[in-house]
Amino acid sequence: MKPDSNLPSARDKLLFTPGPLTTSLSVKQAMLHDAGSWHFEFNALVASVRKRLLKLAGLSHEAGWEVVPLQGSGTFGVEAVFQSCVPHNGKVVVLANGAYGERIAQMLKHARIDHTVLRTAEDTPSDAAALEACLVADKAVTHVASVHCETTTGILNPIEKLGAVTKRHGRVFVVDAMSSFGGMPIDFEQCGIDFLISSSNKCVEGVPGFSFVFARRALLLASEGWARSLSLDLLGQLKGFEKNGQFRYTPPTHVILAFDQALRELEEEGGIPARSERYKQNHQALMTGMIRLGFRSYLPSPVQSHIITSFLYPDAKFDFTDFYHRVADKGFVLYPGKISQCDTFRIGNIGRLTESEMKQVVYAIGEAVAEMGIKMESASAAKAQ
């Protein structure tokens, strides 16, 4: 079931970004209410959101899972896992092929947690064989960390293979699924996931303000006394929910009201499979149009996710700032590139967007490059490369 055309007013530019993203009018309207952070009705709503998140992930309390919402962006949630759930003598292997894998390494450095980084090129998925060799050689490693969909490029890392290696060696597997959870099916058990982090403003199509961490309850309970941070203490927050249903510190009340509505709309759309299919259709419409214009994507199609796509600059003289403003003036907001080795810009396919909006942004991009006098390659030449 496709969502209705419940788009914001014409004054709102459409966001072709990986979050914050374009949200439905009804999600915005859900925030037009005040909620008492200690009030029993709000606490009941938080409990409902947590229960529905577990169901959305295919998990349950009975199977030993918890989900812990935490104030702050997705980065706060990722850092909370490492600040809270790695023992003081622990060591983390980070699989990195983009900015967000590198950010995990930065978190570990700041927390003074022993770690090593297994890097692959930004256009190359993380290597399960390299992880296997590392875990065989280094018995001190306790945790493995991977980014599922690396938003730097849109590359999809093979978490099922990585998780299988991690489980075979008895380590804990942590997955940053910021840009993928809600936008593609993830089998937690098949992938051997122990902790998975996402946030309110990604594929569930809410607004920014909190992250959430899925965790095996036994591992959370085992982390007693490990927290290196007061506010990022996941077990402390779980105990808070179990004690009185409340966040320990001021919750993002309006964001949770919006998220409740976003979850409802995801359920009405047909759940994650239906949303994943819409995003795939968005991606296909985008790629068809951009190739026709003469643009080339950075990643080869076998490793490209349907979440966000990086496109190469069409020539060395391409002025992205000028291009960005021209497209924005037509009502569409793109995303700058983040790849270290070449010049790119990015276009996201997620949010309250359909094939129609993807075709509209492609048309606007075509107008912008024509206005800039950019001579594009023929579509057939671009596709051949």
pLDDT tens digit sequence for 144-158: 999 999 999 999 999
Q: Burial-class residue 158 by CB neighbours within 10 Å (0-12, 13-18, 19+).
A: middle
- What contacts 89, CB < 8 A, 6 or more positions away? none
Where residue 192 falls (left for φ over 0; alpha for ψ -120 to 50; beta otherwise) is left
**3-class secondary structure, 275:** helix
Q: Is the pTM of this model over 0.85?
A: yes
Residue 155 contacts residue 299 (beta carbons within 8 Å): yes
**3-class secondary structure, 112:** coil
Position 82 pLDDT exceeds 90: yes
CA 15 to chain centre: 15
Q: By mean pLDDT, which of 17-21, 136-140, 220-224 is the weakest? A: 17-21
Position 385 pLDDT exceeds 50: no
Nearest by Cα to 157 from 116, 133, 121, 182: 121
* Mean pLDDT computed over 308-316: 93
pLDDT tens digit sequence for 282-298: 999 999 999 999 999 99
Q: How far apart are CA 331 and CA 328, in angstroms?
A: 5
Q: How confident is the model at residue 1 (pLDDT cuts 50, 70, 90)?
A: very low
Q: How far apart are CA 248 and CA 259, in angstroms?
A: 19
Position 252 pLDDT exceeds 80: yes
Q: Point out which residues pair with 348 in neighbouring strands.
A: 308
pLDDT tens digit sequence for 269-283: 999 999 999 999 999
In order of their start, the domains of the chain are 14-22+271-384 (3.90.1150.10), 25-267 (3.40.640.10)
pLDDT of residue 236: 97
Hey, what are 247's tokens?
């966040």
Position 10 pLDDT exceeds 50: no
- For 309, phi and psi rounded to 5 degrees? -125, 135
- State the chain's mean pLDDT as an integer: 94
- β-strand 143-147 against 172-176: which pairing, if any? parallel
